[in-house]
């Protein structure tokens, strides 16, 4: 989640992303056996996810240089910079607002109504509470309790249709 990005990484990464004309969506640092994984998600100001791969590579080079210069990651790491993609991560309030009406998957920090994982239609989001319909049951999930969330892309036959000539 955007709010969980460590402040020292946020101050190093966000200015670079902004200078390229994009918005920082999320920074995920996966620790464990080296190399660690530093996954950065960026998006266009319109939130359409259309960030060309060459622009992701440019941002990656600059961010990698800055992280190395500041010795911000204490272990060897692998850096990935990408756009949100089809199963776009929902990390900010505006991501939740844009996903209303679509199927989403949400994992909470602690159990709510006896469960931590919810998958269903995001009915509404008012900035502090996500209202979901999961298997016919309505749930109100406080935004502060969301640990991870992403939009679930529905694959249909149209995705495999050949373009008409």
Average pLDDT, the chain: 91
Count up the domains in the chain and report the number. 2
Residues 29 and 63 in one domain: yes
Residues 8 and 72 in one domain: yes
Last residue of a domain, one of 82, 103, 124: 82
28 alpha carbon, distance to own chain's centre: 9
Residues 133 and 64 in one domain: no
pLDDT at position 49 over 90: no
Q: Are 112 and 160 in contact (CB under 8 A)?
A: no
Averaged pLDDT, 122-128? 93
Residues of the domain holding 50 = 2-82
Averaged pLDDT, 143-151? 93
Sign of the CA dihedral running 98, 101, 104, 110: positive
Last residue of a domain, one of 53, 82, 111: 82
Locus of tokens 């918005």: 23
How far CA 95 is from CA of 24, 61, 110, 122, 146, in Å, comes to 12, 26, 21, 12, 13
């Amino acid at each position: 989640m955007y709010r969980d990005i460590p402040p020292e990484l946020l101050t190093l990464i966000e200015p670079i992303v902004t200078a390229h004309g994009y918005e920082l969506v999320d920074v995920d640092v996966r620790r464990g056996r080296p190399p660690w994984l530093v996954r950065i998600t960026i998006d266009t100001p319109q939130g359409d996810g259309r960030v060309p791969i060459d622009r992701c590579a440019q941002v990656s080079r600059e961010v990698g240089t800055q992280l190395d210069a500041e010795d911000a990651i204490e272990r060897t790491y692998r850096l990935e910079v990408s756009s949100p993609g089809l199963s776009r991560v929902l990390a900010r309030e505006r991501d939740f607002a844009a996903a209303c009406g679509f199927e989403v998957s949400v994992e909470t920090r602690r159990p709510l109504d006896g469960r931590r994982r919810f998958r269903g239609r995001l009915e509404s989001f008012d900035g502090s509470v996500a209202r979901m319909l999961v298997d016919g049951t309505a749930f109100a999930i406080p935004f502060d309790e969301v640990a991870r969330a992403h939009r679930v892309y529905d694959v249909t036959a149209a995705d495999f249709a050949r373009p008409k000539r």
